[in-house]
C-alpha cells in the first residue's frame, strides 16, 4: 500500500504566539517613534513660521523707513490686497501669506495694532505680526507686558504648546518659544 506520513512531522511557519509577539513589539516601537516624529515636524514648522514672520517684519520695517509710516493692514491678507502689493516686489520678492500649518498670517499696522495682545498706544509706525499656531485659534489669555517682555516666552514641552501664538511687535518677539531661535 502507500507510504504513511508521520503525525510528528512539523510544518514550517510561525506560530500564532510568535506572530503576536512580533506585532506587540512593532506596536511598541511605533508608539515611541510616531510622537517623536510628530514633535520634530511641529518644531520645524514653528522655526520656519518664525523665520517667515521675521521676513515679513523686515519688509514692513523697510517700507516704514522709506515712507515714515507702515502700510495699511488689519488682519489677514492675500496676494491681491493693498498690503501685499505695497510690499511686493520692491520690499520683498515673495511675501508669505500662510504659516507652516497653512493658516493665514495676521498683520496689524499702525493704529490697527491697538488692542491686539494687550497693545495700547499704537501709532502710525507700529506693527504686529502673528501666527495663531497649529490650532489657528488666537490666544486670548496672552497679553503683552511692556515692563517684562519675556513673560510672553514659553517652553515647548507639551503637544498643546504648538497651539500657542507666535507674535512679533515692531521687529521684536513678544510671544515665542524660549527653546527655539530663528
pLDDT for res 106:
98
pLDDT for res 168:
97
- Residue 180 and residue 49 in contact, taking contact as beta carbons nearer than 8 Å: no
* Cα 25 from Cα 22, distance rounded (Å): 5
Domain positions in the chain are 16-177
pTM of the model: 0.82
- Whether 4 shows a pLDDT value over 60: the answer reads no
What percent of the chain stands above pLDDT 90? 72
- Whether 7 shows a pLDDT value over 60: the answer reads no
For residue range 117-135, what is the model confidence (pLDDT) as tens digits?
Answer: 999 999 999 999 999 999 9
pLDDT for res 13:
81
* Cα 132 from Cα 61, distance rounded (Å): 22
For residue range 17-61, what is the model confidence (pLDDT) as tens digits?
Answer: 888 898 988 888 877 877 777 888 899 999 999 999 999 999 999
- Whether 1 shows a pLDDT value over 60: the answer reads no
Q: Which residues are 107's β-sheet partners?
A: 75, 129
Amino acid at each position: 500500500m502507500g507510504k504513511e506520513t508521520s503525525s510528528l512531522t512539523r510544518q514550517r511557519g510561525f506560530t500564532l504566539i510568535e506572530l503576536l509577539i512580533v506585532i506587540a513589539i512593532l506596536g511598541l516601537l511605533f508608539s515611541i517613534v510616531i510622537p517623536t516624529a510628530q514633535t520634530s515636524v511641529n518644531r520645524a514648522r514653528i522655526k520656519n513660521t518664525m523665520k517667515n514672520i521675521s521676513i515679513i517684519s523686515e519688509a514692513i520695517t523697510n517700507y516704514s523707513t522709506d515712507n515714515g509710516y507702515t502700510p495699511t493692514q488689519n488682519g489677514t491678507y492675500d496676494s491681491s490686497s493693498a498690503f501685499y502689493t505695497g510690499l511686493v516686489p520692491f520690499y520683498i520678492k515673495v511675501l508669505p501669506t500662510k504659516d507652516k500649518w497653512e493658516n493665514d498670517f495676521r498683520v496689524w499696522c499702525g493704529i490697527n495694532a491697538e488692542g491686539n495682545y494687550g497693545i495700547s498706544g499704537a501709532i502710525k509706525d507700529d506693527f504686529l505680526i502673528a501666527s495663531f499656531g497649529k490650532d489657528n485659534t488666537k490666544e486670548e489669555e496672552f497679553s503683552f507686558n511692556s515692563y517684562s517682555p519675556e513673560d510672553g516666552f514659553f517652553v515647548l514641552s507639551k503637544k498643546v504648546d504648538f497651539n500657542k501664538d507666535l507674535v512679533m511687535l515692531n521687529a521684536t518677539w513678544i510671544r515665542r518659544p524660549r527653546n527655539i531661535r530663528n
